[in-house]
Amino acid sequence: MTAPSASGRPAAFGQAAPRKDARLKVTGAARYTTDVALPGMLHAKVLRSPHPHARLLTVDATRARQLPGVHAVITRDDLGGLDAVFGYFIKDQPIVATDKVRHIGDPVAAVAAEDEATALAALALIEVEYEVLAAVPDVESALAAGAPELFSGRKPRGVVPPYGTGASAELWPRPNVCYEFRYETGPDAVWAGCDHVFEDTFVFSRMNHFHLEPFVTVADARGGRIEVWTSTQNPFPLRKEIARVFRTEESAVRVNVPFVGGGFGAKHNCKTEPVAILLSQLAGRPVRYCLTTEEGFLTLSQHSAVMTVKTGLRADGTFVARESTVLLDAGGYTDGSPLVAEKAGYRIPGPYRWEHVRSSCACVMTSTTPAGPFRGFGATQATWASESQIDMIARRLGMDPYELRVRNLKALGEPFMPGESGIDSDLVEGLDLVAAELGYHERGTRPNRGMGLAIGFKDGGGVNKPAQARVKINATGHVFVSAGSVEIGQGISTALCLVAAEVLGLPPERVSYAAVDTDTSPFDQGTNASSGMTVTGRAVQLAAEQARDRILEFAAGRLGCEPADLELVDWGVRQGRTVHPLPPMIAQVFGGTGYEFSGDGFFKAPNSPEAPLDAPCVFWEIGWAGAEVEVDPDTGAVTVLKLVASGDVGRAANRLVVRGQEEGAAVMGYGQALFEEMRFEDGVLVNGEALDYRVPMAEDLPASFVSVSQEQRHGPGPFGSKGAGEGTLVPVAAAIANAVHDATGARITTLPLTPERVHRALRELPGQSS
């Protein structure tokens, strides 16, 4: 940790000053991948499967290739020489379909032409013969005996990462299941000592990420090199995957990442990149490939889930054991599903004391849009089940749900599971804050009005995530922070600059965040798991400290004193009561052209065989939510009168950034709770475009929406910080369902809480005529 400045107050960290990217973004000058244009650039479009599941008999692109203005076409016959499948743990997704199509929208052929209109005209000339196969539209049909298999015969190759005590996983354990994660701790004999055992099943709907900047790539693959500008969250893993698919070295691949117009988890690994690169290779011209919003709906989604939770407890309400079974709908390709399964399965016990836990989470392949990482990453699904059931149990036992939680919550510092790191938030403190803001303990008994609470819980910082950073300072004291963390709107560029400013004793205006490209940026595993502050931020802090130490050493040499006698302040060194400006000292030694001091930093949490996921969690991301609702008994409509959401960021680097992350996440959860979902009928997506797919608008906000930022200061990041951005999404749906239960006595176990669903639940209450 750095020494505080002479005044004892941080100079930069913790302000509410405008973000570093404010001016570029409010003036429209910020450059995104959609704005990148290269001379001679062609435009790509893709032919997509109209069938959820079909064998590809013939693909004939002869006429498309002859259309004037067409420069390159890809069908399965054009993949020679490539390792043309990609994926995270499992390599199963082809650049274009080779044997079968596995969801509506699965790419079958691609065209690069002078403009998009010509490319679309060429697609219409491609003749495809399909043998339609039986669809597997949902988890239930995919797991039924004798169900058609999306991947039959030899399975796509994959890996299971190393796990520690109690955790394991298996690839392709049974038909249509690509991955199953399991976790167990404590003796299962304790079930015999339970006074109550409750088992409930929950259904979680799926959302589209709806990032406003579409999936988009500009590729230039001429001259034996591959260069892309792309809207991605993880440039380095993407570079590795591109190098493997195109059978080249990572040094021959350069990934440039301009500003990203929203990701929310969607923009990982290969999306638009392989098609753009291959077309560019074939055409010998740069190629731009930009999806429409409709195509985005066919490319990736959140995981829907079916979850069964069995909980045993003693008569006094003490939790004993919890056994959970999670089935995630992975869609037609595996994408990030194994990782999401690991997290959903691991997190579902919640931050409570258990004597025995057993969880399993299976990724079930269905002939629908592939599912992958989505803000919350399995925790949203798990928390919907876990936190709903806690209220159900409390009411069955005649207890207050708040009391049941407080009785069983883990204390600050207590490990989540054996071998894990300690929980770095005071969970009761956060719950009390939200309960007080809501007026939970004073709530009345007005009919159809009620309140609910919930705690969202996830391990943050990524598993086994390394990050490096570089900080350099020119002769006038202007700082460049280089790291591989991508600015996707979350404010990480601002936060990392504030870390460097704080260490170097410089005002934040002097610090800039360098553009991210894989040739020059320090390595980073990816912009995910709310890891920017606690992993990349630590690397930046260490880099800035090294640079600071080098500056002080240099100045000490010039002044004939010890570095320890000096403090860096406003690009001068303070020695006692005298401040010596650095620029003249630098000019004397390095000449008028100047010099750049620099420092490098690296951070990775250590591994441990005792930790279930191979490394103890970097930090715990907690979200607390409370809701007050009014339910219309005639229509089933739920009105949220007040929503309170709170996260603990340990310490805020910038208050505007933190508030924005917490409110944005909470509203995403609010939409999911009440109305937002991808609707499938007979396995066909029926609202896959902007007009029919309803995301929250300003008019949807609750009459009162309060976000409470906590700074409990127990975080492992710079200056006690933790990550942010996902926690407050996670508990919102359960808090609202718990409030509906409080208001009406009716429990809805399926999301979203639509009027018809609530109305049906009200009619099914004992004593109601049907």
In the complex, the residues that contact another protein under the rule CB under 8 A are 18-19, 21-32, 34-35, 210-214, 259-262, 264, 292-293, 488-491, 656-657, 659-661, 663-668, 689-691, 695-701, 705, 707
User: Which CB sits closer to another protein, 186 or 262?
Assistant: 262
User: What is the SS3 assignment for 239?
Assistant: helix
Least Å distance, CB 37 to another protein, is: 8
User: Which CB sits closer to another protein, 145 or 691?
Assistant: 691
Least Å distance, CB 660 to another protein, is: 5
Least Å distance, CB 44 to another protein, is: 16
Least Å distance, CB 659 to another protein, is: 7
User: Which CB sits closer to another protein, 612 or 669?
Assistant: 669
Least Å distance, CB 39 to another protein, is: 14
User: Which CB sits closer to another protein, 8 or 28?
Assistant: 28
- Give every CB contact of residue 587 below 8 A, 6+ residues apart in sequence: 475, 594
CA distances from 76 to 27, 219, 550 (A): 44, 20, 56
Which two structure tokens, joined as six digits, stand for 269? 């690994």
Distance CA 280, CA 296 (A): 22
User: Which CB sits closer to another protein, 245 or 488?
Assistant: 488
Least Å distance, CB 113 to another protein, is: 15
> Which of 566, 586, 585 lies closest to 577, judged by CA?
566
Distance CA 492, CA 512 (A): 12
Distance CA 11, CA 570 (A): 10
> Which of 37, 61, 60, 41 lies closest to 111, judged by CA?
61
Work out whether strand 619-631 and strand 597-603 pair parallel, antiparallel, or are unpaired: unpaired
Least Å distance, CB 266 to another protein, is: 11
User: Which CB sits closer to another protein, 264 or 333?
Assistant: 264
Amino acid at 308: T
Distance CA 670, CA 660 (A): 15
User: Which CB sits closer to another protein, 214 or 419?
Assistant: 214
Total length of the chain: 770
Distance CA 152, CA 140 (A): 18
- Give every CB contact of residue 705 below 8 A, 6+ residues apart in sequence: 642, 643, 645, 663, 666, 667
Amino acid at 256: N
User: Which CB sits closer to another protein, 407 or 694?
Assistant: 694
Which two structure tokens, joined as six digits, stand for 101? 């199509």
CA distances from 596 to 520, 558, 590 (A): 16, 17, 10
* Paired residues of 177 in beta bridges: 174, 364
User: Which CB sits closer to another protein, 384 or 693?
Assistant: 693
Amino acid at 384: W
Residue 259: how many other CB atoms lie within 10 Å:
22
Burial of 6 (0-12, 13-18, 19+ CB in 10 A): exposed
Least Å distance, CB 285 to another protein, is: 17
* Paired residues of 708 in beta bridges: 646
DSSP string, 313-382: E-TTS-EEEEEEEEEEEEESS-TTHHHHHHHHHHHTT-SB--SEEEEEEEEEE-SS--B---TTTTHHHH
User: Which CB sits closer to another protein, 74 or 266?
Assistant: 266
User: Which CB sits closer to another protein, 7 or 27?
Assistant: 27
User: Which CB sits closer to another protein, 27 or 769?
Assistant: 27
Measured N-to-C along each axis, helices 235-245 and 273-283 cross at an angle, to the nearest 10 degrees, of: 50
Which two structure tokens, joined as six digits, stand for 762? 């009200």
Least Å distance, CB 284 to another protein, is: 23
Least Å distance, CB 372 to another protein, is: 17
Distance CA 198, CA 392 (A): 9
Which two structure tokens, joined as six digits, stand for 162? 């190393």
> Which of 460, 551, 464, 462 lies closest to 500, judged by CA?
551
Alpha-carbon dihedral sign for residues 154, 156, 160, 166: negative
Instruction: Measure the CA angle with vertex 448, ends 445 and 454; round to 5°.
Output: 80
Do residues 322 and 300 lie in contact, with contact meaning Cβ atoms separated by under 8 Å? Answer: no
Catalytic residue, chosen from 663, 726, 756, 764, is 726
CA distances from 589 to 284, 558, 572, 651 (A): 50, 9, 16, 40
Least Å distance, CB 690 to another protein, is: 4
Work out whether strand 638-648 and strand 619-631 pair parallel, antiparallel, or are unpaired: antiparallel
Tell me, yes or no, if 630 is annotated catalytic: no
Number of helices (H) and strands (E) in the chain: give both, helices first: 17, 32
Least Å distance, CB 491 to another protein, is: 7
Least Å distance, CB 121 to another protein, is: 13
b/e string for 383-413 if b means 16 or more Cβ within 10 A?
bbbbbbbbbbbbbeeebebbebbebbbbeee
Which residues are tagged catalytic?
Answer: 726
